[in-house]
Amino acid sequence: MNMIETVQLTKSYGNFTAVSNMDLHIPKGHIYGFLGPNGAGKSTTMKMFLGLTSPTSGYFTIDGKTLSSGRIPILKKIGSLIEAPAFYGNLTGEENLDIIRRILKLPKSSVDDALELTGLTEHRKRQVKKYSLGMKQRLGLAGALIGRPPILILDEPTNGLDPVGIHEIRTLIRSLPAQYDCTILVSSHLLSEIELLADDVGILNHGRLLFEGTMDSLRDYAFNAGYPTDNLEETFLAIIQTDNADRKRGDFR
């Protein structure tokens, strides 16, 4: 069963197509690594899932529901961290999370739970303007995790974290599907992290999905295409460079 599916999903801004005829399949309970260079269309796709922008054509389903069913039923299933998290600097981490809790009508214990999950319990009473960049990123992740939603959409969740913090957040994200039966869509420029995290990957370039499948099937695909298979970064770069060369020649797949 796929928790998220897209059918010919397209988003255009005037003559520019940010996402082109995308057919995405994100299995329930999996961690799906969403990869692509800057401007490939990853954030645009995530924003469509959250109802922040509308598709030009095509559609998507989340847990079998389309956006036409109403945005609120879909959003109740999704926790998200998109771009830099925004918080009230004069409020504490705990107070910021409590605002989210009240909007979502969750029990008070959900704030404690989210703080504990992200290692922020000891900093709960500190004003957010005094948080480091890494702590703000953790608070953003806590906001996404509050209430333990069945779907998490995370854009660069380890941004601003030191190596120890990256390891801790990676371990946390990796544990979530088994612990809480959730499905995670995660994008990151740290391909070594995605390689350690993801069950499946989708590789996007200039709005087009070039590859989708398990990590093992990606290695098979790369081997058969003559691409490097030693690590995800080398494989990714080879796929993107080939597509860019094809585009220059006008040889689209």
At 211 the three-state DSSP class reads strand
At 130 the three-state DSSP class reads helix
- Asked whether the beta carbons of 34 and 185 are under 8 A apart, the reply is yes
Q: What angle do CA 240, 46, 82 make, to 5 degrees?
A: 105
pLDDT value at residue 159: 79
Provide, rounded to the nearest whole percent, the portion of the chain with pLDDT above 70.
97
Residue 73 pLDDT more than 80?
no
Q: What is the pTM of this model?
A: 0.89
Question: Over the chain, what is the mean pLDDT?
Answer: 91
Residue 40 pLDDT more than 80?
yes
| Helix (H) / strand (E) containing 2 | strand 2-13
What is the average pLDDT across 99-107? 91
* Lowest-pLDDT choice from 1-15, 100-114, 161-175, 220-234: 161-175
Residue 253 pLDDT more than 60?
no
| pLDDT band of 69, cuts 50, 70, 90 | low
Query: 3-state DSSP: the chain helix, strand, coil percent, rounded to 5?
Result: 45, 25, 30
Q: What pLDDT, in 10s, does the model give residues 209-250? A: 999 999 999 999 999 999 999 999 999 999 999 999 998 887
Pairing of strands 151-155, 183-187: parallel
